[in-house]
Amino acid sequence: MTARSAAGEAAQRGGAGARAVARKLAAIVGPRNVVVDPAELLVYECDGLTHGRVRPDLVVLPGSTEEVAAVVRVARDASVPLVPRGAGTGLSGGARPVPGCAVLSLSRMRRILELDLENGWARVEPGVINLDVTRAVAGAGFYYAPDPSSQSVCSIGGNVAENSGGAHCLKYGFTTNHVLAARVVLSDGAVVDLGGPAPDAPGYDLLAALVGSEGMLGVVTEVTVRLLRKPETTRTFFATFPSTDEAGAAVSGIIAAGILPAAIEMMDRLAIVAAKAATGLDWPDVGAALLMDADGPRAEVEHVSARAIEIARAAGALEIRVPRDEAERQLMWKGRKSAFAAVGRISPSYLVEDGVIPRSEIARVLRDIGRLAEEAGLRVANVFHAGDGNLHPLVLYDARVPGEEERAARLGGEILRLCIRYGGSITGEHGVGAEKAAYMAEQFGPDDLDTMQRVRCAFDGAALMNPGKVFPTPRLCGEKPGPYRPHPAEVAGLAERW
């Protein structure tokens, strides 16, 4: 995007772009914490989704709730769009800048403010790295449950924005199940505390609306997360299968037997090959593998693991491996967690998809994906959270071959449509961001999208918080055929189109 059209869009919004308020922002956060140098802005042009880069006007790095509130007020008064950013590891372009915007980076706010082990929570700033929460309390036997694969680099604030998951969601839930309270700066600069110590705070569950809202409803400046006691013991096994059909049947059988594994991950042939290439693990060449964790009290875990292994065998497992010690267990998990990056070893480029299907449909959907891949003339590696039906198809392609990138993107889209057809979702944990906005209208009806837009109006009437994300079209009521009919909330002056 050129500077001229950026300024044009900003002007259309009634503002002159973030440059115009650079001095005011510097007065709030200090000149060192406002980045305007084009070379330094380069890293802020995208997040983990690296195509479709946009250069922001500037980056502002506040150090406290008060500074965030002051920055938000300045931006609002000048109609400057704000794009909040945590560690920049998101995979859906949620932190991609928009022309004329100020990126509001929370990376300076990385203090753990308070630990209350008796009541089981930690209060942290949004820039704190996910794994650092667990590191801070592990000595006392506690941990923070949500564990996205990027947990050693992603931030709690980003996790809240995307409602991040991880490998242990089946038993432990997602970020939304582990956030007890949040301090939030609203679009008008007001500071509110959402949630609280009770399981159900009175009034509307604004915290539920906020978690997963991808930085569009407010800026989180403090988060209180639930801490869990480390389970007494964890048992892991790795099982190989001739194909994903048998592996899928094993997953269904295990759940149907009343077992709730802490994690149950599936890899297909291509993913196994990649993981082996990257880690040197001595995994066999097979059609599919499962990696399962059971955790809890020792006797219970022994009982459950033994039963799950029996079921895997009955479903057609070729081989079961139980790690001899913690080091070997960690190695098995390393194989799983490195699978994404490992795909880079067998393909020059790849695209990470993230879709959800009901667990009972895994085998069928994987076959459908195989068929779609064949039609597109591309390879797809599957490594995913089988217990909760969260697929991560990795579409392999070669960007140097003309047209292949577009074909890969199209295949990714077809896979998402498949997820919708099977009653699932276009994203299980990466968010919609900039990447999947176009698919929202396929998963949701216009009534659903309108209502989401109106919720946004209630939080951010001027639509300055992370604009252009999540929603498919820049108008209140989505794309409806026929003449536009104003919504009663618009007539009453409570919401407006944009």
Partner 1 sequence: MTAPVAAALADLARAFPAERLTRDPERLEAYGRDESDLGAYPPDVAVLVESAEEIREVFRIASAHRVPVVPVAARSGKSGGVLAVQRGIAVSLERMNRILEISPEDLVARVEPGVVTGQLQAAVEEHGLFYPPDPNSLELCTIGGNVAENAGGPRALKYGVTREYVLGLTAVVPTGEILKVGHRSIKGVAGYDLTGLLVGSEGTLAIVTEVMVKLLPRPRHVSTALVVFDSVASAARAVSRVLAGGVIPRCLELLDDVSLAAAGKTSPFRFPAGAGAALLVETDGNDEESVFAEIVRVAEIVQGDAAGEVIVAQNEAQRREVWETRRYLSVNLKTLHPMKLSEDVAVPRSKIPAMVERAKAIGARHGLVVATYGHAGDGNLHCNVLFDRAEERPRVDLAVGEILRAAVDLGGTITGEHGVGLAKRDFLEYEQGRELVALQRRLKAVFDPLGILNPGKMFPG
200 binds partner 1, rule: CB under 8 A:
yes
HSE-up (13 A, CA, CB side) for residue 486: 11
Q: Does 118 sit near partner 1 (CB under 8 A)? A: yes
Binding part of the chain for partner 1, among 29-37, 224-232, 322-330, 331-339 by CB under 8 A, reads: 224-232
The pair of structure tokens assigned to 179 is 């956030």
Q: Does 99 bind partner 1 (CB under 8 A)?
A: no
| 435 near partner 1 (CB under 8 A) | no
Choosing from 11, 31, 280, 298, the residue that interacts with partner 1 (CB under 8 A) is: 298
Nearer to partner 1, 11 or 140 (CB): 140
The encoded tokens of residue 233 equal 């013991």
Q: Which of 182, 217, 227, 381 binds partner 1 (CB under 8 A)?
A: 217
Residue 251 beta carbon to partner 1: minimum distance, rounded to whole angstroms = 10
Check binding of 438 to partner 1 (CB under 8 A).
no
Distance of closest approach, residue 29 Cβ to partner 1, in angstroms: 23
Binding to partner 1 (CB under 8 A): which residues in 134-173? Answer: 141, 162-163, 165, 169-170, 173
**Smallest distance, Å, CB 263 to partner 1?**
13
Binding residues for partner 1, rule CB under 8 A, total 98
Single residue of 38, 139, 202, 483 touching partner 1 by CB under 8 A: 202
Q: What is the footprint of partner 1 within residues 3-42 (CB under 8 A)?
A: none
Compute the least distance from the CB of residue 417 to partner 1, in Å: 13
- If binding is defined by CB under 8 A, does position 390 make contact with partner 1? yes
Residue 352 lies near partner 1 (rule: CB under 8 A): no
304 binds partner 1 (CB under 8 A): yes
Q: Which stretch binds partner 1 (CB under 8 A): 55-63, 258-266, 271-279, 336-344?
A: 258-266
- 244 vs 427 by CB, closer to partner 1: 427
Residue in this structure with the two tokens 């009034």, named with its chain if needed:
203
Q: Which of 275, 440, 462, 464 binds partner 1 (CB under 8 A)?
A: 440
Q: Is 176 in the site for partner 1 (CB under 8 A)?
A: yes
Q: Exposed, middle or buried by CB within 10 Å (0-12, 13-18, 19+), for 280?
A: exposed
